[in-house]
Amino acid sequence: MKLLYSIHKYDVFMTIWLLNVKMHGSLAKFSRYVSRTGDGQLYLLIIGLLYWQQGLHSPLLQAILLGFLVERPIYFVLKNSLKRNRPAAALQNFRSVITPSDQFSFPSGHTSAAFMMATLIGYFFPVLMLPLYGWAAMIGFSRVVLGVHFPTDILVGVILGISTALFSLGYSI
């Protein structure tokens, strides 16, 4: 219990510090745009383009579909069984910049999906790996800036996304 309390204290400290940084207003505006790239429409576009170009025989398409078939249920079970409140519900006098799509914060679904996609696409196109991981990291960071996640929500999202991508690659290729 003491470890969980220490982690929570760290999360609260980092969240409040970030939201009190002088440039938070500019970061929040930029973060809205970055966060939207992880809402899911981009993933559907990539899936559609892969299907249109290569059909179901595309190894990348197969890896993405398997990845989401594994990642989304794990994410859903973790989020709805652990039921960690979002910063706005956990902290007094705190308001998020945006309204989240659901009640709980742990883990970050935006981050897990972004890191899964970055890992999968980067595997097939290695020259894109660093920019993709940079984009995925910005999505995770944006979720904290927007006040809808704590830093450890993002960390677990990274682990979940990369793990499911590696699992998917192991079974689809």
Specify the pLDDT at position 94: 73
pLDDT band at 100 (very low <50, low <70, confident <90, very high): confident
> Per residue in 101-146, pLDDT tens?
888 888 999 999 999 999 999 999 999 999 999 999 999 999 998 8
CA 9 and chain centroid, separation: 22
How far apart CA 31 and CA 36 sit, in angstroms, is: 8
Specify the pLDDT at position 24: 66
Amino acid symbol at 16:
I
Count of alpha carbons within 13 angstroms of residue 165, beta-carbon side: 21
3-state secondary structure of 98: coil
Which value, to the nearest 10 degrees, does the dihedral of the CA atoms of residues 44, 54, 158, 129 take?
Answer: -120
Q: Does pTM top 0.75 for this prediction?
A: yes
Looking at the DSSP bridge assignments, the partners of residue 104 are 85
What number does CATH give the domain 2-172?
1.20.144.10
Specify the pLDDT at position 168: 95
Does residue 22 carry a pLDDT above 70?
no
> Per residue in 60-88, pLDDT tens?
999 999 999 999 999 999 999 988 888 87
Number of helices (H), then strands (E), belonging to the chain: the values are: 8, 0
Specify the pLDDT at position 60: 96
Structural domain boundaries in the chain: 2-172
Report the mean per-residue pLDDT for the chain.
89
